Structure 1
Amino acid sequence: MSVPRLLHLSDLETIYDDPRRLARLAGAVDAARDDRTIVVGTGDTTALGALAFERGEGRAVARPFYEHVAPDADTLGNHEFDLGVDGALEWATTTPGAHLVANAAGDDRWNGIEPSTVVTCAGQRIGLIGIVHPETCELSGLDLDVEFTDPVQAVRMAVDRLGERDPDWLVVCSHAGPIDREIAAGTDVDVILGGHDHDEVCERVDGTLLARTEGGQAGTFQLVELDDRPGVTTRSIDDAQPVESVETTYRDLTAACGLTDELGRLAEPLDHPATVTLVADAYRTRGEADVGLVAAASVRSGLPATVTRGDVIGVVPFESRLHVHRLSGESLQAIAARCADSSSAIHGGLATAGLTAEYDAVPLVADEPIDPTATYRLGCMSYLTVVGAVPELDRDTLVESRGPQHEHVLAAVEDAVDDAHEYDR
C-alpha cells in the first residue's frame, strides 16, 4: 500500500528572477505530484528579487507560478508581510491552497485564515499546522500592528483542536528557522517542515523529523515519506523539464522591466562573500564614509561575469536607502566587536569594508587602530537603522540619507565593469 508523501517548497524568493530555473521548479513539482503526494509550502513563497522590486504588483508577481503549482497548503513567511498585513492577507486569501497561521493574535482581519487543516492523501488524514516567525514584526522593519504568539503554545492548541478530526499524521509548516527545534521538543507532532533560514536540515528532535531546504531560490525542494519512520530526501531541480508557459511568462516580464539589459563584464564572477564585500564597499565609497556595513543575509546571491541590471538589483532587492551615520570611535569599536563575534550572527553576520574586525585582534580602520576619541562615518542599508539590529546605529547617529541603496550598488558594479574593460584593453 502506498504511503502519503509531502513535497516541501520554501523560500522561493529570488528564483522568480531566473525564468528557466523557475520553469524547472514548476516542472519538478509537476513530475512529482501524484495521488499520494501533496504540495506544501513554508513561507517566503512570494517573489523577493529584482522582478518584484521593479514591477508594480511587487510580491504578487509570484502569482502565475503559484497558480501553476497550486500548493495544497502554505504558511506566511516574513517577506509576505513586506507590504503590510493587508498585503499578506490579500495574497493568502486570493491564491490557491490553505494558508495556515496558528500563532497570530486574533482580530477580524484574520477571518478566513485557519490555524490548521486536514488533507486526505493515500487514504490517510494529514493534519497541517501553520506557524509564522514570532519576530516577523521586527524582521519586517514595519509597524505591522499584529502580534505573533509563542509557536510552541500555538502548536499545542492546534494539535488539541485537530484531535477532534482524528488525523493520522501531525505536520507543522513553519517559517520560524531554529525555533523549529523548540517546537519539536515542546509538542507531540510527527514532522516539522521549516523555512526562513537557508541551510538544509534533516534531523530528529525527540522523535520529530525536522526538514528544511536551502530554499527554492537555491534550486532545491524536499520529499517526505510518511511511513513508520518518516524520512526526507532533498532534490535538485537541475534535471527537471522546464514548463514552457512558466518560462515564457517570466521571460516576458523580466524583459519588459529592462532587467535583461547587460551592464558589461566583470573581471571574473563574484561568489556570495565577494559580492557581500562589493556591497559593503559601495555603501562606504558612495556614502563618503570610513566604513561600509551590510548584513550578509541581505545580499541575496553572487554575480556572474556578464552582469545585467537584473542581476545587480536582485543582489539587494530592497527599498532601503543608503544611510550614513556619524559615530564615536568607541561606538565603532563596539560594532567591530559585534562583527568579529560569530556567535551573534545578526542576519547571517555583519560584513564590512574599510574596517578590519577579527576575533581577538585590534580592529583597524584604514590600517590604523580605531581612535575612541575620534568620529567616523559609516554607510549602511537603512534597514539596519530601522530594525535596531545594530544598537549603535539609531536616529541620533544618522546624518544623511543618500537615496535608494540599490542605485549605489548599481553604480559600484558599473564602475567595476568599466575597470575590467580598461584592464582588457
Structure 2
Amino acid sequence: MPRLLHYSDVENVYDDPVRVGRLAGALRSRNGDDALVCGTGDNTSPGVLALIERGRQALDLFRAVDADVETFGNHDFDFGPEATRSIVAAAPQTWVSANVHESGGERFAAPDVVPHAVREVGGVRIGLFGVTDPATPSLNPMAGELRFSDPYDAAEAAVDELRTAGVDRVVALSHLGGGDDELARRVDVDVILGGHVHAERRERVADTLLLRPGANGHAIFEVTFETDGPIDVERHETADAPVADDVVSALRGRVDAAGLDETVARVDRPLDRSDATVFGGECRIGNLVADAYRWSLDADVGLQNSGGIRDGPPLSGAVSVADLVSVIPFEERVVRAELTGAELQRVFRESAAAVVDFGEPGWWHGHFSGAEIRWDDGAAELLDARVGGDPVDPDRRYTVATSAYVLHSDHEFPTLQERHRCGEGDIQFEVLAEYAREFGIDAAVEGRIRRVSGAETSTSASSE
C-alpha cells in the first residue's frame, strides 16, 4: 500500500546537526519503493546555517532522504527569489506550486516548478499539488516581487486537472496554516498535508484528513492508503530515530567556519525560548531582545514580535554569536518608529491574538521594554498602559525600536507602518550580540505584561 512520509517547517533544526540527522534517519528508515517523502514548506530557512548557506544547507537533508515532492513556505523566500530558484534547480524532489507566480504572472521558476504532479506508487495513481499562503509578501519582504494568486481557486483548477487525468487519490501539500479548513471545505481532496502553523494537527474537516506535524522536526506523519477505503495515520517521534551520520558530517562545523563561535556572555539560569513560553506572555528571552532594541536606538519602547523569536534549545552557559543568531535569524534591521500615544495603545492591544486574529487562539504576540501593560483576556481589553512609569498620553509622541519586518507586515501590529519609520540601526542579531557584550545576559520577568481575566489579578508571565 502507498505511504506518504510528511515533514514540515524544519526551519532552524539545521543548526543542531544531530537533530536534523535524527529527522533524516526517521524519514530514511521508513522510506522505500512504496513511499513518497513529502515536505510542506519552510524546510530551507530560517536559522544560522540558513543565513550562512542562503538556504542551500537544506539540500543535504533533501538528498539524504531522497525527497519526492515539496511545496513552498513563506520562509523559503528568505534570501530572495533567485536563491529559491537555485535551491529548486539543485534539489532532488519535484516542487509543486499552483499559486506562486513571477512578477509578470508566469509560473514561478518554471519549468522546474509545476502546479501538480502524478506519482504511481503500489499501483495507486496519486495526484499532488501545492499551495502557499497568499499573504507571504506581507510576511516576508524578500518575496515582495512575486505574485500569489488565490490558493483556493488555484487548488480547484489543479484538482480538476488531476481528476481528469484519472488519479485515484488527490493530496494537497499546503502552507496555508489556518487556511487548510477552507481548503478542505472547497476542494475535493483526500488528504491535506499542512504546515505554516507550528502546532501539530490531526483531524478531519469536511471528510478530508488534515495533518500538520509541527515545527522543528520533532515528529513526522506516515499516511497509508489504498485506491479507496480508510486512510491510516501514524505519528513518529524523531528523538529516538537512528542518526543519519552523513547528514551530521555534512552540516557540522559550518557555523564555526563562519566565525560565529565568539562567546559574548554567560547565562547561569537557562533562558527558555520554546513556543509555549514565547507566545504565552512576558518571558525572559522576549525581555532580553526588546531591551536590546530599545538600548540600540535610544527609544522610549522596545518591541519584539513573538513570531520572530525562533524555537530552539534554551540559552545556557557560554552564549556565542551563533546562539544569538539562532534566536532571531533574520537579516532585518532594527528600526525606530515614531507614533502617537493613541497609536501606541493600539499597538499594545495588537499583542493579543484575539485582536489581530493571527496565529493560535490565546497567543501573545508582543514583548516590550520600557513599557508596562495590563490586559484583560476575557474582555480583550487594554486596562492600563505605561511608558517609563507614566500613563500613556494619547497626544504625546513616542519612539519604538522594533524590527523592519513589523513595519512591513500587516499581519502583526498592523498599526505600525512604514510611514512611522524615523531611523534605522543594525541587523537584529548584531544588536543582540552587542547588547550582550555590553551588559551580559541577565534577563528577568518583571511584570511588564500582566494578563488577567475578569476579576483576576494574577499575571500570566512565564515563571521560566
Offset at 1:341? 5.5
Offset at 1:375? 1.9
Which residue number in structure 2 is paired with residue 266 of structure 1? 267
Which residue number in structure 2 is paired with residue 222 of structure 1? 221
Where structure 1 has 5 or more consecutive residues not aligned to the other structure, the ranges are 421-425
Offset at 1:84? 2.6
Where structure 2 has 5 or more consecutive residues not aligned to the other structure, the ranges are 279-283, 444-464
CA distance in 2, matches of 1:246, 1:73: 20
Q: TM-score scaled to structure 1, two decimals?
A: 0.91
CA distance in 1, matches of 2:115, 2:306: 33
- Select which of 289, 294, 313 maps to 1:279: 289
Offset at 1:70? 2.3
CA distance in 1, matches of 2:321, 2:234: 36
- Select which of 431, 448, 451 maps to 1:408: 431
Which residue number in structure 1 is paired with residue 204 of structure 2? 204
1:101-116 equivalences in 2 (<5 Å): 101-105=97-101, 106-107=105-106, 110-112=109-111, 113-116=113-116
Of stretches 187-196 and 273-282 in structure 1, the one that deviates more from structure 2 is 273-282
Aligned CA distance change for structure 1 residues 26 and 336 (closer, same or farther; 3 Å) = same
CA distance in 1, matches of 2:236, 2:438: 39
Which residue number in structure 1 is paired with residue 130 of structure 2? 130
Q: Is the 8 A contact 2:265 2:436 kept in 1?
A: no
CA distance in 2, matches of 1:255, 1:148: 38
What amino acid maps onto 2:140 in structure 1? S
Between Structure 1 and Structure 2, the one with more helix by share is 1
Residue 419 of structure 2 is aligned to residue 396 of structure 1: yes
Q: Is the 8 A contact 1:43 1:195 kept in 2?
A: yes
What amino acid maps onto 1:263 in structure 2? V
CA distance in 2, matches of 1:63, 1:249: 10
CA distance in 1, matches of 2:171, 2:79: 28
**What number of residue pairs does the alignment pair up?**
415
Q: Is the 8 A contact 1:209 1:231 kept in 2?
A: no
CA distance in 2, matches of 1:419, 1:203: 42
Matched residue of 1:128: which SS?
strand
Which residue number in structure 1 is paired with residue 154 of structure 2? 154
Aligned CA distance change for structure 1 residues 143 and 67 (closer, same or farther; 3 Å) = closer
Aligned CA distance change for structure 1 residues 214 and 13 (closer, same or farther; 3 Å) = same
Q: TM-score scaled to structure 2, two decimals?
A: 0.84
CA distance in 2, matches of 1:418, 1:84: 33
CA distance in 2, matches of 1:9, 1:301: 17
Of stretches 101-110 and 298-307 in structure 1, the one that deviates more from structure 2 is 101-110
- Select which of 286, 291, 300 maps to 1:290: 300
Offset at 1:177? 0.6
CA distance in 2, matches of 1:338, 1:180: 24
Offset at 1:206? 0.7
CA distance in 2, matches of 1:127, 1:197: 24
What amino acid maps onto 2:173 in structure 1? C
CA distance in 1, matches of 2:408, 2:166: 45
Offset at 1:205? 0.4
What amino acid maps onto 1:50 in structure 2? V
What amino acid maps onto 1:80 in structure 2? D
Matched residue of 2:29: which SS?
helix
Of stretches 20-29 and 104-113 in structure 1, the one that deviates more from structure 2 is 104-113
Q: Is the 8 A contact 2:45 2:78 kept in 1?
A: no
Which residue number in structure 1 is paired with residue 461 of structure 2? none
Residue 316 of structure 2 is aligned to residue 305 of structure 1: yes
Q: Is the 8 A contact 2:136 2:143 kept in 1?
A: no
What amino acid maps onto 1:304 in structure 2? L
Matched residue of 1:266: which SS?
strand
Which residue number in structure 1 is paired with residue 406 of structure 2? 384
Offset at 1:234? 2.6
What amino acid maps onto 1:174 in structure 2? S
- Select which of 350, 364, 373 maps to 2:386: 364
Aligned CA distance change for structure 1 residues 261 and 229 (closer, same or farther; 3 Å) = farther
What amino acid maps onto 1:290 in structure 2? D
Offset at 1:295? 1.4
- Select which of 331, 334, 338 maps to 2:346: 334
Offset at 1:143? 5.9
CA distance in 1, matches of 2:295, 2:233: 46
Of stretches 137-146 and 282-291 in structure 1, the one that deviates more from structure 2 is 137-146
- Select which of 41, 44, 52 maps to 2:42: 44
Residue 94 of structure 2 is aligned to residue 98 of structure 1: yes
**Residue-by-residue CA offset, 1:146-199 (whole Å, 9 max, x unaligned):** 322222221111111112332121100011111111000011110000011111
Residue 376 of structure 2 is aligned to residue 354 of structure 1: no
